[in-house]
Amino acid sequence: MIPLRNEFGKVPPLIERSEIVSLLPLPYAVLEGRQEGRVWVDDPHAPRTALITSISGFHFVFGEVSNVSRILQILSEDPFEFYALFASSSAWRAALNESMTERDQRFGFHSPPGGTGGWPDWRERIPEGYALEPLDERLMEKWYEGLDPWVFGIWGGPEAFARSSFGYGLLHQGRYVSFTAGGAIGNGEVELEVGTDPDYRGRGLAMLTGSAIIERCRADGLRPAWSCHARNAASLRLAQKLGFERCETIYGFAPCVLGRSERNGSETDSDR
């Protein structure tokens, strides 16, 4: 496998031919230069296999099954914190299952059909004493550590997030208690990340921020995207309430020994 520096134009066709349709804003964000990552291929002139690693910790293999041992070596040396390597086909799932441990089953969802999704009247539903505001740099500098430092950290911090992505948060009594943000943007899609303070869950607050960001996505000509851990029942319910339709199960794998810390996923948050 050979690392590519900037010439990524021959990699997207491998993604387009993959069997999965979810989580793809993450590898596309790397290819489009929106988020930090690395791209490896078997042949830079006519790639048949591609490995894409990302600052998010969500890594992907596309194309023909090959170089599994080399891919494991690359992952062991990769500078990014590892969460899982996702199989883009049944063939890759079978190959990875021989040398790695399945550590994640995720549900993928279709975008709300017909340009709908969420509450059209979300502005009228904001409870008294709450305020919904865009996640701009000023507010992120103050609040992002208390919301979900991972999603804002993978953009490079509050300033970079405000420049490259967008989101909404609900304030109550002087602090943010719920938010929805773009965790990755690529190929015209926005992978949504949602989080709510444990003391404020079950009140429909994530529906408000989710409805707001879906409306923003549509206005900007972007498709909202959703995936979650298969055990995250709260995220599954929220996705369905927002109008997403479950379409597939995606499988992620981890080497038996990585010699590095592993992110266990924000399973306490609403969307992971």
In terms of domains, do 137 and 238 share one? yes
Does 257 score more than 60 pLDDT? no
Has residue 252 been placed in a domain?
no
- pLDDT (average), residues 17-21: 97
In terms of domains, do 120 and 243 share one? yes
First vs last C-alpha separation in the chain: 31
In terms of domains, do 47 and 92 share one? yes
In terms of domains, do 62 and 173 share one? no
In terms of domains, do 35 and 99 share one? yes
Number of domains in the chain: 2
pLDDT digits (tens, 9 = 90+) for 54-89: 999 999 999 999 999 999 999 999 989 899 999 999
pLDDT digits (tens, 9 = 90+) for 89-129: 999 999 999 989 988 999 999 987 776 789 999 999 999 99
CA distance 16 to 209: 31
In terms of domains, do 166 and 69 share one? no
Does 269 score more than 50 pLDDT? no
In terms of domains, do 134 and 30 share one? no
Task: Write down the pLDDT at residue 143.
Answer: 64
pLDDT digits (tens, 9 = 90+) for 123-176: 999 999 999 999 887 777 666 666 678 888 899 888 889 899 999 999 999 888
Has residue 260 been placed in a domain?
no
Last residue of a domain, one of 92, 108, 124: 108
CA distance 23 to 2: 24
Judge whether 184 and 176 are in contact, CB under 8 Å: no
Does 33 score more than 90 pLDDT? yes
Token couple for 103: 């550590």
Report the predicted TM-score, pTM, of the whole model to 2 decimal places.
0.91
In terms of domains, do 96 and 75 share one? yes
In terms of domains, do 38 and 141 share one? no
Does 260 score more than 60 pLDDT? no
Has residue 255 been placed in a domain?
no
Beta bridge partners of 102: 253
In terms of domains, do 129 and 243 share one? yes
* Residue whose pair of structure tokens reads 């992620």 in the numeric block: 252
The CATH number linked to 16 is 3.40.630.110
Domain range holding 62?
A: 2-108
DSSP state of 56: T
Task: Write down the pLDDT at residue 138.
Answer: 75
Last residue of a domain, one of 39, 74, 108: 108
In terms of domains, do 178 and 164 share one? yes
- Strands, E, within 16-57: which ranges? 37-41, 49-54
Per DSSP, the three-state class of 147 is helix
pLDDT digits (tens, 9 = 90+) for 179-200: 999 999 999 999 999 999 999 9
In terms of domains, do 101 and 223 share one? no
- pLDDT (average), residues 243-257: 88
